[in-house]
Structure formats: structure tokens, C-alpha cells
Amino acid sequence: MATWLDHTDFARYALIPEELLPAWEGTEAEDVIGAYVASFRLAGHDILTLGGEPLPVTWLAEPRTFARWYEADDDTGLLPAVRAAMAADSWEDVLTLELGGRYVLTDAAYEADRIAASLRDADGPAEAIRVELPPRRYRVQSLIVDSDPMSRFMLERLLAE
């Protein structure tokens, strides 16, 4: 199944370009705390943030979609629900941004040393997920899906423009 980041102390995840990771201090995303999906610029890069609540999150590379565990006992129905949702007309446009290259999805409050240690420790609980994206402009869209009557996931997909 998917690798999940199971909590965030800051209630905000950040998609950090790997080249900016050594200088990441864990305070950069403080201006976007109130939004479920937001972005800000740092050193010439767009930084995508996901938050609003401390929900577990994962990255699904093939549909270029972040999934957040909204209400569910497990993630067994997630992939079929995401595949079915791809053609839905109910996706909500949130923002557009420029992305491309290697990224790390992690708790926005974590400092660089903690993130790097998590990436090296394959046996410990995941605190960071690697994400690779082709360089381009992306539209971020959101949707809540029900994988079954007892399971809901918040999705944010990246659509190439």
C-alpha cells in the first residue's frame, strides 16, 4: 500500500524542493497556516502546502495526487476511488504554480536535519516522502472522495497545463 505520513505537528505539510532542503528551518510556511491548500515563493521556487488539519497524507505518483486520510479505518479503497475520481467534473480549482524536479513532502515545521535523517532511516516511521515531477506549470485541484460508505479522502491533484 501507500507510504503515509501519519501526522503533522504543525497541521501543515510542505512540498520542498530538495535543493532548498539543507537550509529549511521549519518556519517558512507560517504565512499559509489557515488554508487547506496554499503556496508561497522561497528562493525562486513555488512551495506547495497542504494543511488545515493534522491529517495523514500520501503521494500517488501515477495520478500525481496527494491523498489525505479524512475519515477511514484503512486505505484499501483509496486507489479505486482515486481512479474513479479522475474523470469527475466536481474537482475544484485551487491554485496554479511552477514545479519540477525532486521534492520532499514532509511536516512543514520539521528542520532540515530531521527531514534528512528520516529519508535515511528506512526502518523508522516515515516522516518524509520523495516526490519527482516533470518541470512545468501545474493546476492544483481538490476533491473529497468516498472510497466506501465509511471512508473519505481529501485529494489534491496536479494537472499539467
The domain limits of the chain are 12-160
Contacts of 64 (CB under 8 A, 6+ apart): 133, 138, 157, 158, 159
Q: Is 57 exposed, middle or buried (0-12, 13-18, 19+ CB in 10 A)?
A: buried
- Contact predicate 159/139, CB 8 Å: yes
The rounded distance, in Å, linking the Cα atoms of 126 and 31 is 26
What residue has cell string 491533484?
A: 157
The rounded distance, in Å, linking the Cα atoms of 48 and 105 is 9
pLDDT at residue 122 in the model: 80
For the stretch 1-41, pLDDT in tens is 688 998 777 779 999 999 999 999 988 777 776 678 999 99
The rounded distance, in Å, linking the Cα atoms of 53 and 131 is 22
Q: What's the pTM?
A: 0.93
pLDDT score of 104 more than 90: yes
